[in-house]
C-alpha cells in the first residue's frame, strides 16, 4: 500500500509488530512526522490491517503495511531487502514485536521458553543484523529496542518473558559501543503499564492452566489482578 512517491532522500523507518498497540501507534507517529514508514506485521490478512489502511487513506500518510515475521530468517531478510530496494536506505528500526508468556518456569516446556525468546530476543537480533549493513554504509541510523520495565525488575510467573527482556537490555547496552563509531545510535525504551491489548494477548503456559499444577493458585490470583 504505497501512498505517494517521495524523493529517495526521504527518511525511512521500519517498525515490527505494527498490527495493533504500541507498534501501530509508533508507525503512525513516525509517518505523521515525515518518515516514509514501513509498518510491518506477521499477518497481513484479516481485520487487523483495516485500521491502518483507513487512517493512511484519511490522512494521506507515507506509510506502507508490509509482511515481516520476526521468528523467520527469510521473512526478515526479504522484508528489509524490499525496503532497501524501494527506498535505498533505512534510517530508523523500531523493534517492537513481542508477547508475554505467563506461568511458572517449573510448568513451562522448553518449546514454550524457546518460542518466547525466539520472538522477543532473537526476533530483534534478526532485524538488527538485517539493517546494520545499510546503516553502516549510510554512516547513520537509529535502532530503537522496545523492552519493558520487565527488563529491569521481575515479578513471579513471567520468568521467560523477563529473561527475554533482560537479554535484549544487555545486548542493547553492549552493541551501542560497537555501533557508535559508525554513527548508529541504540535507544532503549522501557514502557510501564500502557493502555494497549498487550496483557490481554498474554500466552499462558499450558501446564499452568491445569488445576493440578502446584502454581495454579498463584497464577489465578495474578490473572484476577490483571483484569
Give the residue numbers marked as catalytic.
Answer: 161
Burial of 100 (0-12, 13-18, 19+ CB in 10 A): buried
How far is the CA of 191 from the CAs of 17, 30, 69, 202, in angstroms? 15, 18, 23, 16
| Residue labelled with grid coordinates 527488563 | 151
150 vs 64: CA distance, rounded Å: 31
With CA atoms as reference, report the closest residue to 164 among 88, 222, 101.
101
Which residues, at least 6 apart from 38, have a Cβ–Cβ distance to it below 8 Å? 12, 13, 14, 15, 63, 64, 66, 79, 83
| Residue labelled with grid coordinates 524457546 | 114
Amino acid at each position: 500500500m504505497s501512498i505517494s512517491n517521495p524523493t529517495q532522500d526521504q527518511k525511512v523507518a521500519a517498525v515490527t509488530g505494527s498490527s495493533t498497540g504500541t507498534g501501530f501507534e509508533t508507525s503512525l507517529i513516525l509517518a505523521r512526522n515525515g518518515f516514509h514508514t514501513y509498518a510491518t506485521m506477521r499477518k497481513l490478512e484479516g481485520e487487523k490491517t483495516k485500521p491502518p489502511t483507513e487512517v493512511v487513506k484519511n490522512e494521506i500518510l507515507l506509510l506502507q503495511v508490509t509482511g515481516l515475521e520476526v521468528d523467520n530468517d527469510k521473512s526478515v531478510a526479504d522484508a528489509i531487502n524490499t525496503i532497501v530496494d524501494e527506498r535505498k536506505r533505512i534510517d530508523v528500526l523500531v523493534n517492537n514485536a513481542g508477547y508475554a508468556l505467563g506461568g511458572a518456569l517449573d510448568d513451562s516446556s522448553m518449546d514454550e521458553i524457546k518460542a518466547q525468546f525466539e520472538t522477543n530476543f532473537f526476533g530483534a537480533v534478526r532485524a538488527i543484523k538485517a539493517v546494520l549493513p545499510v546503516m553502516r554504509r549510510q554512516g547513520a541510523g537509529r535502532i530503537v529496542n522496545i523492552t519493558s520495565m520487565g527488563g529491569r525488575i521481575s515479578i513471579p510467573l513471567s520468568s521467560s518473558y523477563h529473561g527475554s527482556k533482560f537479554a535484549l537490555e544487555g545486548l542493547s547496552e553492549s552493541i551501542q559501543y560497537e555501533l557508535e563509531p559508525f554513527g548508529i545510535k541504540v535507544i532503549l525504551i522501557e514502557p510501564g503499564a500502557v493502555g494497549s491489548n498487550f496483557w490481554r494477548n498474554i500466552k499462558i503456559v499450558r501446564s499452568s492452566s491445569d488445576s493440578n499444577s502446584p502454581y495454579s493458585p498463584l497464577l489465578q490470583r495474578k490473572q484476577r489482578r490483571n483484569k
